[in-house]
Amino acid sequence: MPSLQDQIQSTFTSAKASGNCFVFESEVSTNKDHGIEFQINYVPTLAKKPVPSSIHPEKGKKPVNPFLNPDPGLIVQSYDHYHLLLNKFCVVPYHLLIVTKEFQDQSQPLLPPDLLIAWRTMQEAYTTPGLIFYNCGDESGASQQHKHVQLIPLDGKGIQPPIQALFNKIDNPKHGEIYSLNELPFVHVLLLLDAKVLENKDDEIVEEYLGEMFFGLLDAMFQQLRIADPERPRGTKASYNFIMTSRYMMLVPRRAECGVLKSSSGNVLRLSMNSMSFAGFLLAKTREERSTLQYTNDLLAFLTQLGYERKSPETEQEMETLQEEDTEA
């Protein structure tokens, strides 16, 4: 039986050769902000990518869901409830998608089995560490409605995503404790995973642990959101981005799909970003977008436009206390 790595490589090679999978060449540049060396992936050919019929169907036709009956040439593995697919339009080779076999909505949170399969795939898929991400909801940067978790290999200069530089500054981090970092001006929550639990071969234990961590983090995110935007009606669906490495989970609630930056020639650029931007990977589809992202001196302010501005730590503390008193009363 070939290993998962071998299956990914052989499916990728034949999908590329048969024109089922497109790999867009990218040029990488960097821009450092608050100790994070953001990586800007400039992919000029993406600007010419045809808009899939899943997004803008031909007149009179229904949108096609590419994940319900996926192209067999892109399927690496089929499991009871999921397909493991190659991303048809990838910038990073071996970019994988884990899609549910039955339709589930992308605005639903990840469930423990989704997290388990993503975790197990990340462990086996690559020779380098990986990054799992999930764009959840209308403002999260997702373009497909059918539930799909994404996975890319990390390599080259940073074997961890650029945002890891800030995680490394947490003094004596404790497993499962939820942190928000003072350096990040937008609402976010993150936690350190316990490698010992995750090394377990028993799927039930790993699934339960990942579910517990994710839902604990999601609760904390909603709490932060209530502090950042008290006017937001309770029960409103939230959009958010989720990233997970072998060490950390992070959630960032989203207010807008696009952020706005002014280029050096004064043009106003609207840039759509997904979860990867909060890991420190920014996508540019034109030369002007690239140079603007590369030379802007406040990328964190740009990311804050996509999410929710944090209140000062003192205000956060005061409001948390008020909320706790409210719950107790």
Binding residues (CB under 6 A) for ligand B4P: these are 41, 46, 52, 66, 70-71, 74, 85, 87-92, 95, 97, 135, 141-144, 272, 274, 276, 281-283
> Closest approach of Cβ 203 to ligand B4P, in Å?
26
Query: Looking at beta carbons only, is 90 or 228 nearer to ligand B4P?
Result: 90
How far apart are CB 304 and ligand B4P at their closest, in Å?
Answer: 18
- Quote helix, strand, coil % in the chain, to nearest 5: 35, 25, 40
Q: Among all chains, which residue has been given the structure tokens 């996975």?
A: 151
**Least CB distance to ligand B4P at residue 209 (A):** 25
Q: In a 3-state reduction of DSSP, which class is residue 31? A: strand
CB of 155 to ligand B4P, least distance (A): 13
Length of the chain: 329
Closer by beta carbon to ligand B4P, 4 or else 271: 271
Question: What Å distances lie between residue 75 and 2, 11, 65, 105, CA to CA?
Answer: 15, 7, 15, 20
Closest residue to ligand B4P, based on beta-carbon distance: 66
Q: Where are the beta strands (DSSP E) in 186-317?
A: 189-192, 239-244, 248-254, 258-262, 268-272, 281-284
- On the CB side of 127, how many CA atoms lie within 13 Å of its CA? 3
CB of 271 to ligand B4P, least distance (A): 10
Least distance from C-beta 283 to ligand B4P, angstroms? 4
- Which residues, other chains included, contact 32 with Cβ-Cβ below 8 Å and sequence gap of 6+? 38
With H, G, I as helix, E, B as strand and everything else as coil, classify residue 148. strand
Task: Name the residue nearer to ligand B4P (CB basis): 130 or 141.
Answer: 141
Residue closer to ligand B4P (CB basis): 85 or 125? 85
Amino acid at 115: L
Considering beta carbons, is residue 95 or 310 the nearer one to ligand B4P?
Answer: 95
Nearer to ligand B4P by Cβ, of 192 and 299: the residue is 299
Name residue 272's beta-bridge partners. 258
